[in-house]
Amino acid sequence: MFGTVVVGVGIAGLARIRDLMNPMPSSPSEHLKLFGFVSRRSFGNINDAKQISLEDALRSQEIHAAFISTENKSHEETIRMFLEAGKHVLVEYPMALSAKAAHELWEMAEQKDKILHVEHIELLTEEYKQLKKEVAGKDLVKGTLHFTGSVLDENKTGFPAFSGIARLTWLIDLFGDLTVTSATREKQKDKNYSRMTVHFQTASK
């Protein structure tokens, strides 16, 4: 069995705990054993998973990998700690708030001979697989992707583009590398409203 720990118990972290505690039959998850979860808040137990300290998770010889599901801002520091401790890491996107930091973390994982995986579960859904089939072999002439969400705390999530990084990953996976041609941002603090509009161009323009 491969020992794991979940760091962060928001929506993604709770889903990780649930899936690790009740793996799908014959799935790779059956070979994973959840030793506990780490959170700044005090919970005790969640679904029979016990809360452990960050220090214990880093020191434990039984824990081989960490699932990081904290706010964006803390991803980089948490990844570094677990790689330093000799653990494999799976982190929810984005891995870091800058490309420079992301490259440093990839290099660190290679030096430590550990896996560093950025998870984007949407790319594995049946709906997305169907979308990919539909665009295969076609030329993109023009398109618009519009999505909404609640206003996020930029101190924790980073610049607004990181809220939409999942959708950017969609586009790159579907159409290849993209170049930003323009970007604008509109903010209305009195209405707690923010909008970012970005124009991209594919390699074939």
pLDDT at 94: 86
Same domain, yes or no, for 12 and 106?
Answer: yes
Dist. CA 13–CA 105, nearest whole Å: 21
Q: What is the pLDDT of residues 1-34, one digit of tens each?
A: 899 999 999 888 998 999 999 988 888 888 999 9
Same domain, yes or no, for 92 and 131?
Answer: no
Sheet holding 32-38, edge to edge: 32-38, 2-7, 65-68, 88-92, 116-119
Q: What is the pLDDT of residues 135-169, one digit of tens each?
A: 998 888 998 888 887 777 777 777 777 667 777 88
Measured CA to CA in angstroms, residue 26 lies from 29, 31, 93 at distances of 8, 9, 27
Q: pTM to 2 decimals?
A: 0.78
Same domain, yes or no, for 107 and 165?
Answer: no
Same domain, yes or no, for 83 and 131?
Answer: no
Same domain, yes or no, for 22 and 95?
Answer: yes
**Number of structural domains, the chain?**
2
Same domain, yes or no, for 101 and 29?
Answer: yes
Dist. CA 95–CA 73, nearest whole Å: 9
- Give the domain extent around 46: 2-119
Closest CA to 2 of 24, 28, 39: 28
- Read off the CATH number of the domain in which 149 is found: 3.30.360.10
Dist. CA 67–CA 172, nearest whole Å: 25
Contact 16, 67 (CB under 8 A): yes
pLDDT at 158: 74
Same domain, yes or no, for 40 and 112?
Answer: yes
**What tokens were used for 23?**
């793996």
Same domain, yes or no, for 108 and 146?
Answer: no
